[in-house]
Amino acid sequence: ASGAPAAASGAAAPACDGADLKVAVFGGAAATASVAGEIGFTNAGGAPCRLAGYPAVTGVTAGGGRVSAGHLPSTEFGPDVTGVTAVPLAPHATAVAVVTGNDVLGACASGAEPAFRYLVVRPPGGAAGSTVSALLPALGSYLPDCGTISVTPVAPAASVPLQAGAR
- Rounded to whole angstroms, how far apart are CA atoms 113 and 32? 15
In this predicted model, which residue has the larger pLDDT, 11 or 147?
147
pTM of the model: 0.87
Tell me if residue 107 falls in helix, strand or coil. helix
Mean pLDDT of 142-155: 93
pLDDT single digits (tens) 14-62: 989 888 999 999 999 998 889 999 999 999 999 999 999 999 999 999 9
Q: What pLDDT was estimated at residue 63?
A: 92
pLDDT at 155: 94
CA–CA gap between residue 113 and residue 90 (Å, rounded): 39
> Which amino acid would we find at residue 108?
C
Please state, as a whole number, how many other Cβ atoms lie within 10 Å of the Cβ of residue 108.
19
Tell me, what's the pLDDT at 11?
60
The helix/strand count (H/E) of the chain reads as 0, 14
Q: What is the pLDDT of residues 149-166, one digit of tens each?
A: 999 999 998 888 764 444
**CB of 72 closer than 8 Å to CB of 81:** no
CB 152 within 8 A of CB 78: yes
State phi, psi for 40 to the nearest 5 degrees: -95, 135
d(CA 99, CA 78): 10
At 162 the pLDDT is 61
